[in-house]
Amino acid sequence: MLLIWLLALCTFSQSGVAFSQDKVEKMHIGYSAQAGAFAPIWITKEAGLFKKNGLDVDLLFIPGGPTAAASMLAGEVQAVAMAGPAVVSSNLGGTDLVMIAGIVNTFAFQVITVKGITSPSQLKGKRLGVNRFGTAPDIAARFALRRMGIDPSEVTILQLGEQSTRLMAMKAGQLEAAIVLPPITTIAQREGMNVLLDMSELGAEYQITGLASSQSFIMKNRPSALKLMRSFVEGIHFYKTRKKESMAIIAKYMRTSDMEAVGATYDYFANKIVPQKPYPTAQGIKALLDLAAKERPDAAKVPPDRIMNASLLKELDDSGFIERLYQN
């Protein structure tokens, strides 16, 4: 009987957290866009890493950061892979939403243009497409224009929804430029369009996307939150080390059979953008707060630490768990 009791007892993980083998916790997790930047959360689910760590996760598509934030506040989901600006906006509005991990800590966007536009100066007086005003692509567009020496007021910025819609608008002659990510970049280049600027090469720190949750959930359910973080870190490791399997998952979630474009998405994000240790960046959050301060001056006084909680990741990191993953 003692042996049976011991076997039924929880096993001790490498991170120092005990996980029950006979009890699986239900959890709802969201992601806010069908874009390559969200591949780590898809892969964590599809590779069975949530289940490995004692979580039965329903992974839900919740379009748009504001909607995703509202879902967390309503208790419908416990965490969401989403854009940083929506987390900052919600927190400034009085909620306790925070970034608990960083996925894209810089501007991982490209400015693409129709065939006839090959220099920034040609964008003046033209139309540029983003998804919605105030979202990460819109912020990126305005930042990119300024870096190219163009005042955003000199360009007509239009909100047109998903990346594929923006690409179709360019092909139909309704736009001359758009902010996109792989795999749309690859598809656009096949159509003879140009990549005018790859913003990831600018080196600017912006918390574009990450994994968000609420301080209250972390405080009340820390063991569960730690299982979530452990799973996510293992998902990133799988992503970076299992290209073939990861590409198949990306193709499934992006609903495409264009494996050349999927491969470009993988190479861009897995090799260039997503960090092994996905800490949210204080400088990246500060940049979003400074941007928000243009409409609400009080945002400039908010410390970035209020918008982030890296304690779960740090606990795993301090245990040596992440480094051991990459030694195997």
Q: Give residue limits of the domains in the chain.
A: 7-105+207-327, 110-202
Domain 7-105+207-327: which topology? D-Maltodextrin-Binding Protein; domain 2 (3.40.190)
What pLDDT, on a 0 to 100 scale, did the predictor assign at position 256? Answer: 87
Max intra-chain CA distance, the chain: 79
Residue 119 phi/psi, 5-degree rounding, is -140, 150
SS (H, E, C) the chain: CHHHHHHHCCEECCCCCEECCCCCEEEEEEECCCCHHHHHHHHHHHCCHHHHCCEEEEEEECCCHHHHHHHHHCCCCCEEEEEHHHHHHHHHCCCCEEEEEEEEEECCCEEEECCCCCCHHHHCCCEEEECCCCCHHHHHHHHHHHHCCCCHHHCEEEECCCHHHHHHHHHCCCCCEEEECCCHHHHHHHCCCEEEEEHHHHCCEEEEEEEEEEHHHHHHCHHHHHHHHHHHHHHHHHHHHCHHHHHHHHHHHHCCCCHHHHHHHHHHHHHHHCCCCCCCCHHHHHHHHHHHCCCCHHHHHCCHHHHECCHHHHHHHHCCHHHHHHHC
Give the pairing of strands 127-130 and 177-180: parallel
Residue 206 phi/psi, 5-degree rounding, is -140, 135
What pLDDT, on a 0 to 100 scale, did the predictor assign at position 295? Answer: 86
What pLDDT, on a 0 to 100 scale, did the predictor assign at position 22? Answer: 53
CATH class of 110-202: alpha beta
Model confidence pLDDT, tens digit, residues 7-20? 333 333 344 444 44
What pLDDT, on a 0 to 100 scale, did the predictor assign at position 2? Answer: 33
Model confidence pLDDT, tens digit, residues 104-116? 999 889 999 999 9
Give the sheet arrangement for strand 127-130, strand by strand. Answer: 156-159, 127-130, 177-180, 110-113, 194-198
182 within 8 A of 112, measured Cβ to Cβ? no
What pLDDT, on a 0 to 100 scale, did the predictor assign at position 7? Answer: 33
State the Cα–Cα distance between residues 98 and 299, nearest whole angstrom.
15
Question: What are the residues whose beta carbons fall under 8 Å from the beta carbon of 89, sequence distance 6 or more?
Answer: 65, 66, 69, 134, 292
The two domains 7-105+207-327 and 110-202 share their CATH topology (first three levels equal): yes
266 within 8 A of 256, measured Cβ to Cβ? no
In the chain, which residues have pLDDT < 50? 1-21
Q: Report the candidate in 28, 27, 29, 36 with the shortest Cα–Cα distance to residue 253.
A: 36
270 within 8 A of 246, measured Cβ to Cβ? yes
66: left (phi over 0), alpha (psi -120 to 50) or beta: alpha
The number of beta carbons lying within 10 Å of the beta carbon of residue 315 is: 17
